[in-house]
Structure formats: C-alpha cells, structure tokens
Amino acid sequence: MNKIFEVPLYAYERSSDQDAATAVRHKVIVIGAGPVGLATAIDLAQQGVEVVVLDDNDKVSFGSRAICFSQRTLDIADRLGAGSPMVDKGVQWNVGKVFFDNRQVYEFNLQPDTGYANPAFINLQQYYFENALVDRVRQLQAAGAPIEIRGRNKVEAIGTHDSHVVLEVETPEGPYNVEADWLIACDGANSPTRRMLGLDFDGRVFEDNFLIADVVMEADFPTERWFWFDPPFNRGQSALLHKQPDNVWRIDLQLGWDIDKEREKRPENVIPRLKAMLGEDVDFDLEWVSIYTFQCRRMERFRHGRVLFAGDSAHQVSPFGAMGANSGIQDADNLCWKLKLVLDGKAPEILLDSYSRERVQAADANIAKSSRSTDFITPKSQISRLLRDAVLDLSEHFEFARPLVNSGRLSTPCTYQDSSLSSADALNGPDITRPGSACPDAPLGDEFLLPKLAGKFTLLTIDAGAPERIEEGGVEATRLALSVKDDLTLELKRRYLGDATGAVYLIRPDQHVAARRDTFEENAFRQAIRRATGKE
Amino acid sequence: MADLILTPNLDSADDFYAGLLAAHDGLDKSASDALNARLVLVLANHIGDADVLTQAVKAAALRGS
Ligand SMILES: Cc1cc2nc3c(=O)[nH]c(=O)nc-3n(C[C@H](O)[C@H](O)[C@H](O)COP(=O)(O)OP(=O)(O)OC[C@H]3O[C@@H](n4cnc5c(N)ncnc54)[C@H](O)[C@@H]3O)c2cc1C
C-alpha cells in the first residue's frame, strides 16, 4: 500500500544554482515545506514575489500529526487557492462525548453556526493538508508564478548580513551556496535555523507522555469526538478518539511520565492498549504510532534582522486545542503582505517588527489556552485533580459545570489587541469586529464576504459613503460597498454594525480590521493606512 | 423561593478555573483544604439567601452514580 506520505512529491532535482560560479541571490528563501512553509511560499508567489522553498525531505508529513483545522485556517487556505480540496476531503463533526471513569457524563452538540462559507473546523490528516498545498504550488508553477520547491536540500549553515543572508545547502550531489534578501525559517519545532543563530526557545515542558496512534478500521463508531478522563482502560490517565477521512481514527492515550518510550512504541505493547479501549473483537491496522512529550514555548522575538521565524520554529504548544498548525498558518497570513510592501518599498522595514509583536501576542494566547487544557487533562497536584474531578462529577448533573470541563479549546484567531497597526475604535459596533479582529465571514446572497476582502486593503462600507479608492504613500485601498439589504439573514448587520446604522471599515490584506468609523472621514482613513503600514 | 443557578453563569469559566488553580499553587494538602473551606464560606456569605444555600449544599452532595 502506497500512502501519500511515502511518495516523494518534490523529489530532488539539480538546480542551476548548484552550477553557478557565484551564489545566486533570491528575493525570499523559505526553509521547510511543512504546512507553514508551503503556505508562506504560496502567499508570496501569489503576490508575484520570487520564492524558493528548501526542504531536507521530499515528502509530506510522515504520519498525520495535525488532524484538526479551524475555520480561520480554511478561510486563509481559500485565499491561497487551496481551501476547497481540504474541505471536500475533510470530516466534519458536531457531537462530542465526555466520559469520566466508567460513565458518559455528558454530550454536546456544536450546532453548526450558519452564515460562514467554511465549517468551524474539519478533521483532515496533515499529509492531505500539505498535499493540497503542494498541488497549489504546482498549479502556480504551471501558471508561471515564481515559486520553486527543492527537495532533499538541507540547510547546513547560515550567514546573516545587513542586506541579505547566505545559506550553505547540502544535497545528494554535494553542497552549494545560495543567497536571499529575506529568509523565512519554517523549519519546525527543532528549528536548525534557530540553533544556528544561537537563539533562545524558552517555556514549559509538561512532564507527561502521550501515545498517539492513527488506526485504520472499519468500525461503526460514529463521527464524534470522544474524550475520556480516568477511564477503566487507562486508569488515572486520559484518552481521545477522533475520526479522520479514509476510516482513519486518531487515538491519544496519556501514559504518564516514567515510561520507556521505545518499549511503549512497539506494536506488541501498543496493540493491547488499543484493544482494551476499542474492544477485543475490533479489527484495525496501525497506520502511524508515536510518543510525544508536550511543550509550550516560544522565541522571544520572531524577527531577527533579515530572518523571520514562522510556525513551530517560533512557537510550540501542546496539541490540546489544535493550535499548532492553525496558528502557523496565521503567521504566514500576517507576514506575507507586510513583506510584500517592504519589498516594494511601500512600507518601512519596521512593519516586519509588527509581525513579531502581533504573532507573539497570538502565541502567548495559544500557550495560555493550551497550558490550561493540559493542566485540566493531566492535573499535576492532588488539589488540581480533586477540583478537576469535582467539575467532572458536577458536569454529569448540572449544565453549569460543563463550560469548566476543558479537554481542549479549539483554535480561534487572535484579535491583535492594542496593535500599533490599529487605529482607535470609532464605531459603536460589535466587539467581534473591533480593530485588530479577524473579519468574520458573512453571507451575501449566494456569495460570502471574505473572498471579497482578500489580499489587499479594502474600504468596506456598509450603508455609508466613501470614494471608490484612496491611495496613501503608494498603498491603495479599494472600496467594497455593501448594504444590510445584501444579507437577508442579517448576519452582516449583526457582525459588522450592531446598533450602528452605517459603518466604514479599513481592512488589512490579511482580513484583520485596521480601523472603523461610522462615516468616511478622509484624514482619519489616510492616517489609518499609514498606521497599518508601519508609518505612524 | 429563589432558585439556585445551575446553568452556565460564569463570565469566563477558563479564567476563573485558572485563577482558582493559581491560588492553590505551592500549597500542601491541608493548606489547600483550608483555602477551599474559606472560599466556601466567603461565597456563601456573598449569596446570603438561605434557600439558595440549602439547594447548593444538596447539589454538591449529589454524586456520580
Ligand atoms: C500529535 C500531534 C497532534 C497535533 N495536532 C494538531 C492539530 O490537530 N491541529 C494543528 O493545527 N496542529 C496540530 N499539531 C501541530 C502541527 O503538527 C505543527 O504545528 C505543524 O506541523 C507545524 O508546521 P511547521 O510547518 O511550522 O513545521 P513542520 O511541519 O515541522 O515542518 C518543518 C519542515 O522543515 C524541514 N526542515 C527542518 N530542518 C531543515 C533543514 N535544515 N533544511 C531544510 N529543511 C528542514 C522539515 O523537513 C519539515 O518539512 C499536532 C502536533 C502533534 C505532534
């Protein structure tokens, strides 16, 4: 059986750079063809920025790792031209069940929220997610976009200069040197770039181990998320069962701290554990097994001169809440438009420091969230376990305790609170669209709002006047004129107006709100554009 | 008679829970128990209403099957 992650999707090919007398200089080099590196490269190439991706491997993620992708990620993937194959392949689920000891304590139904093009989240193997991005790279190449992936190109050394970086790259045919104006390190949690530059990566290790297994089975478990606290088949620990496409099921079993990882990973030890959970008579195949110790940590800053860090190289969270890949995709979303403006000379380099500030804020929010989930799932003191078990006991009988049960809080986009790019809120509007927020989608008849906001500055007017375009210091914002009448479901009004009768929004290319007012006021919006591009 | 609220009523459940755990950080078992006891008394005083408190004691006494 040939799994997609066993096939070289970007096999090594000799590049003319390897035969050049002097090192060739590229605009941008991305290290790492994981989800974040691929998304970054696509985003840049779509804007016409020349980009080369170097990866020491030639295949998508071995085994699944990430399985849960959020609405915000899918919205970004749509902007990158790769969203629909993901949603088509992905599994959607609404029902979750929580078990404690030998009984189900409650069941929840995440009623699908309406009025969004994309579901709240999908389950999809990371290798399919990456595969959709690789397909998109191939599509862009066919259309002549300046993007290249070089498989089995391992970065061995990095020299940083004021105006560029120099890389030494190892290939099956020997090493070569190559240069770039900008380097984006998407080389994962063990980031060799970080190590080579001698940079810190501090945080907290959770003293626990988890067995992560993906099993293939023709079982009639429903498409639901089942989470066990202290079940009979894994006493004192937790367990998770979650469905992926192709009859693949994700199983997480907490194992505790003092274990022999190599021993626990052997099939003869894994299979009895899974049988205890699934039942003796269930037939399954192991697709992938791994043992993880979770960590929550981040770099102090994500920009170091001409080197930018994105994804796991910059920050790492425990997987409860599926925030790793999801937040990495949002890093790419935040970074690429800024880098494009800087490359075009339309914004000062300090705009890139706002990338670091905004995404550090997001990383801290994610780390706090996933640390809390981890503390609930794996209580580390007697009192913490006592309180946890009290919550679970109460949750069986009383609805009030259920929001306290924390088996992972799903990834949500960060609102860049107090960002230097945002202007003061000048609309008595809904909280969810205050400056700094990621724009929520809204239905517009047969269409949706977000695709109309993609990749450029937009002046969104809702029952308000404004010029069709304004330009400030080379940065253009074009108008999208809407009326609450365009959306009979009134979601547009609910999400963007609230009690206001009209509004003008300045929306960044990454679909975050930069400024909003009740009416168009030229000076205010010119200033807002300057702020949003690091000029004020 | 006032009814005990048994539907979600916390402004931010996760923040409250994290704050509660933080208050216990570094305490040994008996210090933690004492903290919980004081907390029950502080909250009871805030509620005041005897009917509500009686219902609360009953709700807490009900345990898993
Ligand atoms: C068990 C588990 C479950 C998870 N579940 C979820 C989930 O449900 N949702 C979610 O969003 N996230 C989840 N995550 C996290 C997610 O897998 C990661 O956050 C994500 O893979 C990070 O992507 P990345 O592109 O930053 O790094 P990676 O995917 O690690 O990619 C790094 C790339 O860099 C390459 N590289 C490294 N060094 C070099 C070098 N010297 N030269 C060239 N190339 C190099 C590597 O080959 C690799 O391709 C989970 C993680 C685990 C472990």
Q: State whether the Cα torsion A139-A142-A147-A151 is positive or negative.
A: positive
Number of folded domains that form chain B: 1
The fold of A26-91+118-201+298-365 is FAD/NAD(P)-binding domain (3.50.50)
Q: Which atom of ligand 1 is nearest to the CA of A156?
A: 41
Q: Is the pTM of this model over 0.80?
A: yes
Residues of A in contact with B29 (CB under 8 A): 382-383
Strands (E), A9-83: 24-31, 51-54, 68-70
Rounded Cα distance between A83 and A48, Å, is 20
Rounded Cα distance between A258 and A242, Å, is 26
* Closest chain B C-alpha to A383 CA, distance in angstroms: 7
- Helix H, strand E, coil C: the string for A166-212 is EEEEECCCCCEEEEEEEEEECCCCCCHHHHHCCCCCEEEECCCEEEE
Ordered per-residue pLDDT tens for chain A, 536 residues: 467 888 889 999 999 999 999 999 999 999 999 999 999 999 999 999 999 999 999 988 777 789 999 999 999 999 999 999 999 999 998 889 999 999 999 998 876 778 999 998 999 999 999 999 999 999 999 999 999 999 999 999 999 999 999 999 999 999 999 999 999 999 999 999 999 999 999 998 888 899 999 999 987 788 889 999 999 999 999 999 999 999 999 999 999 999 999 999 999 999 999 999 999 888 999 999 999 988 899 999 999 999 999 999 999 998 887 889 999 999 999 999 999 999 999 999 999 999 999 999 999 999 999 989 989 999 988 999 999 999 999 999 999 999 999 998 888 899 999 999 999 999 999 999 999 999 999 999 999 999 999 889 999 999 999 999 999 999 999 999 999 999 999 999 999 999 999 999 999 999 999 999 999 999 999 999 999 999 98
Instruction: Name the residue among A103, A387, A409 with its Cβ closest to that of B64.
Output: A103
Instruction: Name the residue among A382, A383, A400 with its Cβ closest to that of B8.
Output: A400
Domain that holds residue B38: 27-65
Rounded Cα distance between B59 and A396, Å, is 11
Rounded Cα distance between A72 and A506, Å, is 19
Q: Where are the domains positioned within chain A?
A: 26-91+118-201+298-365, 420-532
Residue B10 lies in a domain: no
Q: Give the contacts of A212 (CB within 8 A, at least 6 positions apart).
A: A250, A251, A252, A288, A289, A290, A291, A292
Residue B8 lies in a domain: no
User: Which whole-number Å values give the CA distances from A37 to A201, A332, A333, in the listed order?
Assistant: 19, 8, 11
* Closest chain A C-alpha to B64 CA, distance in angstroms: 6
Rounded Cα distance between A55 and A98, Å, is 40
Which residue in A434, A418, A441, A438 sits closest to A500, CA to CA?
A434
* Closest chain A C-alpha to B32 CA, distance in angstroms: 7
Q: Which of A43, A52, A55 to mutate to test the pocket of ligand 1 (most atoms within 8 A of CB)?
A: A55
Hey, what are A7's tokens? 């096939």
Residue B47 lies in a domain: yes
- For residue B33, give the chain A residue with the closest CA: A383
CB A430 within 8 A of CB A498: yes
Q: Which of A65, A244, A315 to mutate to test the pocket of ligand 1 (most atoms within 8 A of CB)?
A: A65
Residue B52 lies in a domain: yes
Residue nearest to atom 6 of ligand 1 (CA): A66
Which single residue is written with the structure tokens 């931010």?
B12
- For residue B5, give the chain A residue with the closest CA: A400
Contact A375/B at CB under 8 A: yes
- CATH for A420-532, options being 3.10.310.30, 3.20.20.60, 3.40.50.1240, 3.40.30.120: 3.40.30.120
